[in-house]
């Protein structure tokens, strides 16, 4: 079975300070891992994905994530937060067990950025 | 390029009524998906379709049906709506998964906010 745990429901940072959104996963298969972002009243947009090519993955808007198999973690980071980063972030495990792609979503982390 | 369009944007529906949520994509993706998003639960898969003419059940399929008559359209039907189906519904599409691979990006529409009273 696959599952995703996002360790914080809310994270608050000041503009210009680092961002850390934590994610742990469990999967019976060799998973792909994604981070999606959802701005208010919008659909989801892919930030980055891990597909076993490299453990440190760089995404859009300065975000990156590191896959650590020993810790079953895929934490999302950004060196310096911007006001426009305020949104909901979802960590996602993707597997293909029976001929279709199954995405298992975490419950989300809301990032709040203050001036 | 429009990507994925969904209609309506929002709807209030009386319990017991039927409704079809529409989804159209212009990316020629073979695979399409319907999710519902509920507070504190993330997104959950309702139904999926790997190619035109085929559909499959996801995690929470009860009370919903889908059809896939062509590549572009993937409507979701609620035959007799109940209040627990109040949610935000997202349609998504991707290249068809190759057996054993799981890395395709799914592209999401803007969502339909449905309230069942």
Neighbours of A96 (CB within 10 A): 19
Pairing, β A102-105 against β A44-50: unpaired
Asked whether residue B45 is domain-assigned, the answer is yes
Nearest neighbour of B50 by CB, restricted to A94, A99, A103: A99
Encode pLDDT of B6-20 as tens digits: 999 999 999 999 999
Residue B100 lies in a domain: no
Of B48, B102, B111, the CB nearest to A94: B102
Res. B85: pLDDT tops 70: yes
Which SS3 state, helix, strand or coil, does residue A81 take? coil
pLDDT digits (tens, 9 = 90+) for A54-84: 889 999 999 999 999 889 999 999 999 999 9
Q: Is A34 on the interface with B (CB under 8 A)?
A: yes
Task: Show pLDDT as tens, one digit a residue, over chain A (115 residues).
Answer: 788 999 999 999 999 999 999 999 998 777 789 999 999 888 899 999 998 778 899 999 999 999 998 899 999 999 999 999 999 999 999 877 666 778 899 999 999 999 9
CA A97 to CA B55: how far, in whole Å?
16
State whether A96 and B100 contact (CB < 8 Å): yes
Q: Which residue of A has its CA nearest to B111?
A: A43
CATH code (residue B51)? 2.60.40.10
**Tokens (6 digits) for B91:** 């349609």
Q: How close, in Å, is residue B99 to chain A by CA atoms?
A: 5
- State how many domains chain B has: 1
Distance CA A28, CA A97 (A): 10
Pairwise CA distance, residues B90 & B87, whole Å = 10
Q: Give the CA dihedral A36, A84, B37, B13, nearest 10 degrees.
A: -150
- Asked whether residue B87 is assigned to any structural domain, the reply reads yes
- B85 is in which domain, residue-wise? 4-94+108-116
Give chain B positions within 8 Å (CB) of A107. 40-42
Structural domain contains residue B59: yes
Q: Mapping DSSP to helix (H, G, I), strand (E, B) and coil, where does residue A115 land?
A: coil
What CATH class does A3-114 carry?
A: mainly beta
């Amino acid at each position: 079975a696959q599952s995703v745990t996002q360790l914080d429901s809310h994270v608050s940072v000041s503009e210009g300070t680092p961002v850390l959104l934590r994610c742990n996963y469990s999967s019976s298969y060799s998973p792909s891992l994604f981070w999606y972002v959802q701005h208010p009243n919008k659909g989801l947009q892919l930030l980055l994905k891990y597909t076993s090519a490299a453990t440190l993955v760089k995404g859009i808007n300065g975000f990156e994530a590191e896959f650590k198999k020993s810790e079953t973690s895929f934490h999302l980071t950004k060196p310096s937060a911007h006001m426009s980063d305020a949104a909901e972030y979802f960590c996602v495990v993707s597997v293909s067990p029976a001929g279709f792609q199954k995405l298992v979503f975490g419950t989300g982390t809301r990032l709040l950025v203050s001036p | 390029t429009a990507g994925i369009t969904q209609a309506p944007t929002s709807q209030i529906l009386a319990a017991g009524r039927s409704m079809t949520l529409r989804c159209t994509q212009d990316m020629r993706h073979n695979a399409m998906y319907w999710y519902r998003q509920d507070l504190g639960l993330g997104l959950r898969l309702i139904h999926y379709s790997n190619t035109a003419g085929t559909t499959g059940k996801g995690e929470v399929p009860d009370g919903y049906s889908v059809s896939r008559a062509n590549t572009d359209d993937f409507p979701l039907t609620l035959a007799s709506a109940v209040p627990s189906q109040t949610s935000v519904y997202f349609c998504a599409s991707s290249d068809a998964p190759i057996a054993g691979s799981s890395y395709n990006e799914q592209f999401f529409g803007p969502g339909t906010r449905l309230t069942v009273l």
